[in-house]
Structure 1
Amino acid sequence: MAPMVLPMAKTRMRTNRLVEISQGPRQIRDEADQRRQAAAAQSEDSTPAAPGDSTPVEAESSRGSRQRSRAVTSENGVPDKKKKEQAKTIAKIKESKAFKKRKRDAGVDSDDDDDIARAIFNERHAPLPGQMDNCEICTKRFTVTPYSVAGPNGGLLCAPCGRQIAKERQGMQPKKKAPRKQTGGIGSRRAHQSRILDGDIGTKSLATLCVQTLAKNVDLADSLGDLPTHLIDKIARIFSKRRLLRAETLPLFVQPNTEVLHIYDGAKISEQDLLGIFQVATKLRRFKARYMVQFKDEVMDYVLSRDIKLESFYLSGANLLSDEKWHEFIEAQGASLKAFQVYYTDKHFGDDTVDVIAKNCPSIERLKIEHNQKLTDEGVKGIANIPSLLHLGLQLQHSISPEAITPVLSSIGQKLETFSLTIVPKADDSVLQSLHDNCRSLVKLRITESEVMTDAGFAKLFTNWENPPLRILDLQKCRYVSAQQPRHNAHKVGLCDEGFKALMAHSGAKLRDLNVHACRNITGEAFEEVFSKDALYPELRHLEISFCEEVTDFIVGSIFRSCPNIKEVNVFGCMKVRDVRVPRGVILVGVPNAQGMVTEGFD
């Protein structure tokens, strides 16, 4: 019979379980309510009621209600049973050595024994990080962390209450002393490097100090008075650099007699601020604004409604202006417009807009269109119909073909003073030949990132060119590009030795800024020949030869000797330049050292 006990027990357990399951949910709920009431009655009988204590009332749960019965509590909300346990624990703490030691160290009277004992009790029974506790102030349940703040009565606080208490305590504490400012003339390292890159070397002028003081106390300024235009422009640059140009400071630059307005950072300028500019400055002639995303059709409508005759209009970042508003503006202001520069217009300002300029701007002398996604070769060819142009600059998303550039140079190249083609990978030697044949007044020339022009084309351009010596020349990244053989340039693509020698022979005497960045096929022998001991380039101020791999310490020293008025030389990526002595007043950028990437000469 023994082997049958276990199966019979299992059968009995299954039967009981089935009986429990067969009971309805209402019966189970009734039995649970009865157990709660019995437990509450037992707790009430076992706790003697003290005189003056309030007797808690237990609300009887109705049938179907699942409300918990409340535990019997005392006046301060702590259960009596728990309160008795705390009292016993505190009594034991008063007899401990830790209590006596803390009391002796504190030197307090016997009246404060309870406070000391309760403090020790709270320390020992404080919940650990990760455990749950009730906030001392709002009684909400929260998870204790190592950063939980202690409350005024020794308990812990939840995050919102802790922040509030921390602010109150911070306000009661004395303020910390401000860090001591450096009294030296240089200041921090970062500010010193920034000054060097800005060309601010030596003692600052009184005007510079006044402008910087104004920028630091802009909230105290009421107006700029009758300052010269160049100082107002300098203040505007500093304000934009420090992001101080906003609706509150804009009135410093916008007055009824303002004729020239330059906004270098209009990110904080709203649409209403723009309307206010053209409402107040009724004599405005030259307007320049960057990052003007709020310059929309509504603003242009208001500009067209004002009696303002603009001579120069420079707008960057107004990519929400429609083509129709551009056309209306050109038709209304074209008669007086002499300079028109547009940047970052995205998919607006296309070929038809150039035709509108050609028809309505008879006196325009400067046209610059950059970061444009709509203008194509057809629009570039239309520029040939603007004979009054003296300055032309293009940087388009659509690659410009040589067939579109050469007609423009043939038509207006005779009077062009500045010509800029930025990022033109398809431009070839025919463009250089057209420059050589048609341009006679160029002062500034920029052709960048051409992948087709050859060294022979550059040499032919500068050989026997009837154009006067250039002042500014930028040929950066005109180089041979190949993923298979990047250093093997058999066909001499890009600016190489002969082209570099020819350009220095033609324009070296008057050249002020030269940029041959990443023209890596210029050899060290060509640099040494150009900057030999007998060569002299008195006007050269800025030289960019970064990533010309053959540049060495000797070549940089030869540059310093041949260019007595040189101010800045950039040699990023020239790994053979390691230790070169920099003359006083000259900035060498790109050689890493303990001071950074910028070296100011003191020799």
Structure 2
Amino acid sequence: MSRNHIIIGPRSALTDYLASQNISASRIARQAQARREAASTATAPTAAEGEEGAGEEAAPEEEATQVSTRAQKRKAEAEAIRKIKRSKAFARRKQFERASKGKKGSRVGEDGEEDEEYYLAMDMLARDPEQWAPVPGQTENCESCQKRFTVTPYSRAGPQGGLLCQKCGSVLAGSDQAAKKKKKRATTSGPAGGGRRRVQSKMLDGQIGVRSLVTLCVETLANNIGLADDLGDLPPTALDSVARHLSKRRLLNPKTLPLFLQPNVEDLSLYDAARLSSDDYVRIFQTCAKLKNLKLRNAIQFNDDVMKYLIGRHITLESIYLHGANLISQASWAEYLQAKGAALKGLRVYYTDKHFSDEVVQSLQTHCPSLTHLKICHNQQVSDEGIRHIAHLRHLERLSLQFVQMTSTEPYVDVIRNVGRNLHTFSLRMVPDVDDRLLDALHEHCRLLTKLRITHSEKMTDAGFARLFKGWKNKQIASIDLELCRHVDAEQPRQNRHNVGLCSDGFRAMMSHSGGILRKLNVHGCRHISREAFEDVFSADKVYPHLADLEISFCEEVTDFVVGSIFRSCPNLKKLNIFGCMRVKDVRVPKGRILVGMPNAIGMVIEGDD
């Protein structure tokens, strides 16, 4: 056996294998050097020698690229080997290997020691290649563009194992990010039409299951509204749906406004007019000469100039709905009502600050004799005096009030005594100081109510609500909202000795009176309704066939059994809100129903599949 084939002492598996195959590191180096010299002196593309390259001829550009890539790899490997041999770790490893053989300082063959060092360095490089990579501060050639650059801790590795400069690394990072996004979109699970939040938003809007063709067409139109020149002869419901979609996406602006303006338009509803200027409002009245019903939300630029232009036009509005138009002065309101109030049947104003005052409300009696629908919401100026003026509007059928100033009970009682017999809707928000006298007046004078709302009451009692509904000659009510009618005591919030607010007896009386036709019920925050009252109202022998929307959030006595009873007693229930009902732990939701506010890790909205 020749001396080059002798294997002495324990070695790594790589070292033993290379030596047994008669592979010498020095010979490999000499052959590599010869190939590099041949490649550098070549003047024309040549076919690779040997069996692997027989009969094949590479393109000059491809061969040059391959030679350059191989040269970079060899150079990087040689640099790493030199770095390893100069390291203390290599010296310790070499000393350990020799000690384990038991023959220190012995040479094995002509190139034995050189081979041993080479194999040992290659083994260390294979075990931890990142440790021997170029350190920050050194200079390297970019694998992609071949430019010289300084290595930093953020230098990226290229696909061939080399390093990339900052510019090429940024390009590679962008490609990786785009690939990740594409893969994420392709592998995203869940129902079609968007992510979890978008699907849940549609569920809360009532879109359960397959959307109708009209809905798909409206959404497509809203997504491509910039390409539309005219909405054509769309029916009013479809036109209103388009306006809602545009407003939801904040796409209603001076460019899209003309799509809704036609000379024959009688009803115009813009649900987000915040991006419209006063000139745009003037353009509405210039174009829509037959306009009768106007609804504008977030009409922040609807000012005195627009009102004066409206007064000067031959436009007689029967209904006006203004939200956020707090730039209209009290004088302009008085002038408009005097000039156009005779034909006005509906007046709804929201967030008008201090300009819609008691004097303006008083003028309604004189200038608006046909007024049937009045809604004043979030007003800072109207007081008890203005409420007394409302009592003289004899033709009122729908009345909704919400004031910032604290109001008392007597003005509301006066209103009910005078106009209560004709009211179909009666809504009071934020009335903490109003007491049971109003409930007694409703019981005595109202017979046509279909919608009742009294919120944030801190003086009305459970006995007053029970008296209201027991033996009431008013027909059954379809919508009832008694949100936060409860006892409020910062020191002892759970103790309610006088049964302030809507409690068990009032809840039983309400459901007994209107449960057969009730469609929407809100008892949010009425925390003194007992568990026994819920179980009695939604017992096995009770059915509420029309109830579709129920709000019982923060009713602390609601349990799993109560929620299950509600689903059983309300076969057409679509949405049930239970925020703050911490005793609800595990409820099986029927298919097609929406449970909102489940206090667990599943989510805020659950659509049943049972």
On whether the aligned pair clears a TM of 0.5, the verdict is yes
| 2:530 partner amino acid | T
Alpha-carbon contact 2:585-2:600 (below 8 Å) kept: no
Q: 1:193 aligns with which of 168, 193, 200?
A: 200
Cα gap change, 1:555/1:273 in structure 2, threshold over 3 Å: closer, same or farther?
A: same
1:348 deviates by 0.9
**1:200 and 1:125 mapped to 2: Cα distance?**
61
After superposition, where does 1:519-534 map in structure 2 within 5 Å?
Answer: 519-534=526-541
| 2:456 partner amino acid | E
Cα deviation 1:352-394 (Å, max 9, x = unaligned)? 1011111111111100001100000000000011001000000
1:105 deviates by 2.6
1:584 deviates by 1.1
Cα deviation 1:77-129 (Å, max 9, x = unaligned)? xxxxxxxxxxxxxxxxxxxxxxxx99953999xxxxxxxxxxx9xx7699xxx
Alpha-carbon contact 1:501-1:526 (below 8 Å) kept: yes
Q: Does the residue aligned with 1:551 lie in a helix, a strand or coil?
A: coil
| 1:464 partner amino acid | G
After superposition, where does 1:34-73 map in structure 2 within 5 Å?
Answer: none
In the alignment, what sits opposite 1:270?
277
In the alignment, what sits opposite 1:494?
501
In the alignment, what sits opposite 2:330?
323
In the alignment, what sits opposite 1:217?
224
TM-score by length of 2: 0.71
**1:556 and 1:105 mapped to 2: Cα distance?**
71
In the alignment, what sits opposite 1:456?
463
**Structure 2: which 5+ runs fail to align?**
1-67, 76-133, 141-151, 155-165
Q: 1:251 aligns with which of 248, 258, 282?
A: 258
Cα gap change, 1:125/1:173 in structure 2, threshold over 3 Å: closer, same or farther?
A: closer
In the alignment, what sits opposite 2:297?
290
1:592 deviates by 3.7
In the alignment, what sits opposite 1:398?
405
Alpha-carbon contact 1:341-1:368 (below 8 Å) kept: yes
**2:491 and 2:334 mapped to 1: Cα distance?**
48
Q: Does the residue aligned with 1:105 lie in a helix, a strand or coil?
A: helix
Alpha-carbon contact 1:592-1:598 (below 8 Å) kept: no
Is 1:585 equivalent to 2:582 in the alignment? no
| 2:226 partner amino acid | D
Q: Does the residue aligned with 2:452 lie in a helix, a strand or coil?
A: strand
**1:503 and 1:207 mapped to 2: Cα distance?**
39
In the alignment, what sits opposite 1:105?
72
**2:486 and 2:69 mapped to 1: Cα distance?**
81
Q: 1:571 aligns with which of 578, 590, 594?
A: 578
Alpha-carbon contact 1:289-1:315 (below 8 Å) kept: yes
1:573 deviates by 0.3
In the alignment, what sits opposite 2:550?
543
**1:548 and 1:427 mapped to 2: Cα distance?**
23
1:175 deviates by 12
Q: Does the residue aligned with 2:349 lie in a helix, a strand or coil?
A: strand
Cα gap change, 1:415/1:169 in structure 2, threshold over 3 Å: closer, same or farther?
A: same
Cα deviation 1:238-274 (Å, max 9, x = unaligned)? 1111111111111111111211111111111111111
TM-score by length of 1: 0.72
1:190 deviates by 1.3
1:403 deviates by 1.0
1:173 deviates by 10
Cα gap change, 1:273/1:465 in structure 2, threshold over 3 Å: closer, same or farther?
A: same
Aligned pairs, how many? 456
Cα gap change, 1:492/1:174 in structure 2, threshold over 3 Å: closer, same or farther?
A: closer
In the alignment, what sits opposite 2:444?
437
1:185 deviates by 2.1
In the alignment, what sits opposite 2:477?
470
Cα gap change, 1:124/1:482 in structure 2, threshold over 3 Å: closer, same or farther?
A: same
Q: Does the residue aligned with 1:374 lie in a helix, a strand or coil?
A: coil
Alpha-carbon contact 1:254-1:280 (below 8 Å) kept: yes
In the alignment, what sits opposite 1:560?
567
Q: Does the residue aligned with 1:414 lie in a helix, a strand or coil?
A: helix
**Structure 1: which 5+ runs fail to align?**
1-100, 109-119, 127-144, 148-161
In the alignment, what sits opposite 2:49?
none
Cα gap change, 1:240/1:462 in structure 2, threshold over 3 Å: closer, same or farther?
A: same
In the alignment, what sits opposite 1:93?
none
Q: CA RMSD in A?
A: 2.8
Cα gap change, 1:107/1:554 in structure 2, threshold over 3 Å: closer, same or farther?
A: closer
Q: Does the residue aligned with 1:358 lie in a helix, a strand or coil?
A: helix
Identity fraction in percent: 54
1:295 deviates by 0.5
**1:599 and 1:234 mapped to 2: Cα distance?**
26
